[in-house]
Each structure stands twice: as C-alpha cells, then as structure tokens.
Amino acid sequence: MIVEPYTKSYLSEHYGDDGFYTLAGYEARGGFAGLKKALALEPAAVIEQVKSSGLRGRGGAGFGTGLKWSFMPKGDERPKVLVCNADESEPGSFKDRLIMERGPFQIIEGLLIAAWATGAVKSFVYIRGEYALPIRRMREAVKQAYAKGYLGRDAFKKKGFVHDIVVHSGAGAYICGEETGLLESLEGKKGQPRKKPPFPAQHGAFGLPTTVNNVETFAHAPYIMDRGVEWFRGFGTEKSPGTTLFGVSGHVAKPGLFELPLGTPLRQVIEMAGGVRDKRALKAVIPGGMSMPVLPASQTDVGMAEELLAARGTHLGTGGIMVMDETTCMVRVACVVSYFFRDESCGQCTQCREGTGWINKICERIEAGRGTPNDMRLLDSIPGMMEGQTICAFADAAAWPIQGLLKHFRGDFEAHLDQKKCPYPASFEL
C-alpha cells in the first residue's frame, strides 16, 4: 500500500521501512520512549497530559481521548479492560490497516500507555476478519512483546504493572465498528449495539469497565508522551491538534494515504493525490468516509478539521476522502451508498431496518428511470424519520449521505425523473 509521508510526519515516518514492524527495529527507531516517560509519571498525570494535548479520537466521532480515559471508574474492584477498535470498515477508510501493517508496535505502546493511565489489565484488539495481513502482523508483534517481557506480569519490566493483549478477529459485519456492537461481538454474540447508558466505562466488555479507542488514536499516544503537549499542538488546529492519515480514493490520479496536519485544505490533499484524473473537472467529494454528507465542488475550499467541516454541514469522520469527477452520476452514488447501509443494518431498530431498505429501493427505481415525484417526497422524508431515532448512530450514518446528495445534487435526481433514464452514460457502472 502507498503512503506519501508529509515531510514533518511522525506516525508514518518509518512506514517505508520493513524493520519498523519488528520489536528490535521499532526500538532502534526510538520506539517505547513515550511509554518510558509515561511509566515515570502518576497515572493521573498521564491522563492530564493526553487531555491537554487535545487529542481527539480518530475513529469518526472525534471525542476527547484524555477525557474518555478519565471516565474509567476509580476504586472499582473489577478488572478494567481496553479495546482497540480495529474493525475499520467505513467505506473510504484504510488508514488503520496501514498502521497495523507498518507500525503494530505503535499500537502496543499506545495500549500500554493507556493501560498505565487507566489501570486496565487487559486489552482486546478487535480486527475486522477480512484484514488477514494486519491480523498476522499484530499477532506477531504481540508475540514478540511477550517474548521480551513487555507484556504479562511486570509488563515493560515495571514491578506490579500487569497487562495482557489478545488479538481478536471479527467476522465481517460493519456494525461491529460501533463500539457497543463491537463489545457484543467480542462477547461471542451478534454485533447488535447496546442501549446507552450504561456506557462502556461502567459496563463494557464482559460487564467490565472498558475504554474503547480507535487504532490511530492509540498510535498517537506514544508521541504525545515522548515529545510533549506543545510539540503535538504544533500540528493541526487549536480544536483539532495533531496529524492524521487522510485516505484519498476514487477519481484521483494517485490514490493513497497522506499523513498531514488536521486542518490541511481539502483541495491541497486532493492535489497531493495527483488531482482529479485525466484533467477532468471535480464534481463532488465525500470528505470523511461514506457516512458523511457529500460536498459539491464549489464547497471544497475547506480545511480538513471537524470544526471547519461542520460549518459546511459535513464531518471529518475517519478522514477518508472520496473524490468524484464530472462523469459521476450522483443517483448511482446514492444507489451504492444506500445498498451498503441496507446490507449492513443490524436489524434491531425498525426505523433503520426498514428505512435503509426503502431508501435503497427508491434510489434504484429512480436510477432505472422509473422514479416518480412521490419517490422524491419519500426520499426527502425517510432520512429524517431515521435520524436520532435509533439505538446507535448507524441510522444517522445512513441518513446523512442521502440528505447531502439531495441537498447538493437534486438536479441529478430530477433529471432521471424527467428523462426516464440515467443522463450519465459515461458514469461508473452499477
């Protein structure tokens, strides 16, 4: 896989280097310096440092990492657990895969820092089942860490510090990326999300106090501990510090991953990916993975940080940027998007189970030239009936892209109705 490192990047600095995914190679390149510094501090001071760094979760929701760690109950006799969410399944996102393949010890070091900070004795790394190579790399890295005494009793040679890591494979279900769906799945059940409260910090994996963070979130922690808050805040925006691995896909000349500071202009990221292919005009960009509303070309002069994208009615999500050129039929896009959510709805909430199916059927009818004005009224109303009405955010994720497509590309839908066929013969095939 391709990664084009930003000149001042830190996460991906050594990803071109095969040694970096071995324990010896990781240590030779400065690995575990952050953990050493963390272990010299009181756990509360580690949480404080992560809090003041402003690190926000990189799994899509952007919640403050230090704050999340502080939710782990104190004075609770139950063993505490960490879960690394490596169920990366958001269409357009492929960064966590690269981190696991090229920097598995960054994740292990991040988990150990979080374990020290929260008192967790065990981590589960839940990796989507299709990720065969990341699973092998993580298992091998954990094995090497045990062999060197970095895991288990007196972990990292620190007396009394106990931490075990279990690498667990998922089995093909997008919903297991939702944190409580993941916890159900980890317990050997269907991955249907739980009602909250109770939140995972009180009642998480196997009923134990649990903190769930994304792969990339854990991978940033060692650098924050080693190089400090001020250094970390030197990247990105005030509200969204640090870098992230932006994934650029679709109609660009050189798709790939680019580690850049949060807030980097979207158009600059697209230019780094070679710009729109074949010198065609840009039509639309989904900036943060499939669940996020689309931006028309006219609104792509925006920085890639949550607070900046939110002002445009969309979100940073996982930073998966999908680029569509002028040939693209946005109704076909709606068909692909709505099929995905229909297929992946876990089925427990009526609004989501029924709504995703209805939206998909209507989009396919419109694309086939059989749409009616009433279909447009239904498309306008169904997403609003799903949004905010269900146990988890999946229904929102299914509703938002459709709302975005209707808001910005209504003309594409209406042209299908008027012409009774798809007006984009050169668009990608369905």
Kindly state the tokens that stand for 305: 């940080």
Is 189 a binder of another protein (CB under 8 A)? yes
Is the Cβ of residue 171 or residue 311 nearer to another protein in the bound state?
171
Is 429 a binder of another protein (CB under 8 A)? yes
Is 344 a binder of another protein (CB under 8 A)? yes
Contact partners, residue 31, CB within 8 Å, separation at least 6: 23, 105, 106, 109, 222
CA distances, 44 to each of 67, 72, 157, 297 (Å): 11, 11, 21, 46
Q: Interface mask (CB under 8 A) for another protein, residues 85-124, using x and -?
A: ---xxxxxxx-xx---------------------------
Residues 324-343 interacting with another protein (rule: CB under 8 A) = 324, 328, 333, 336-337, 340, 343
Is 352 a binder of another protein (CB under 8 A)? no
- Shortest Å, Cβ 368 to another protein: 15
Q: Interface mask (CB under 8 A) for another protein, residues 124-143, using x and -?
A: ----xxxxxx----------
Taking CA 41 as the corner, what is the angle to CA 36 and CA 46, rounded to the nearest 5 degrees? 95
Count interface residues toward another protein (CB under 8 A).
61
Is the Cβ of residue 336 or residue 385 nearer to another protein in the bound state?
336
Q: Which stretch binds another protein (CB under 8 A): 149-157, 220-228, 322-330, 352-360?
A: 322-330
Is the Cβ of residue 37 or residue 58 nearer to another protein in the bound state?
58
Is the Cβ of residue 78 or residue 157 nearer to another protein in the bound state?
78
Residues 256-275 interacting with another protein (rule: CB under 8 A) = 256-257
Kindly state the tokens that stand for 43: 């756990």
| Residue whose C-alpha is closest to residue 34's, from 201, 221, 173 | 221
Is 187 a binder of another protein (CB under 8 A)? yes
Phi, psi of 121 (to 5 degrees): -105, -10
- Contact residues for another protein, defined by CB under 8 A: 1-2, 79, 81, 88-94, 96-97, 128-133, 166, 168-174, 185-191, 205-206, 208, 247-251, 255-257, 286, 290, 320, 322, 324, 328, 333, 336-337, 340, 343-344, 346, 428-430
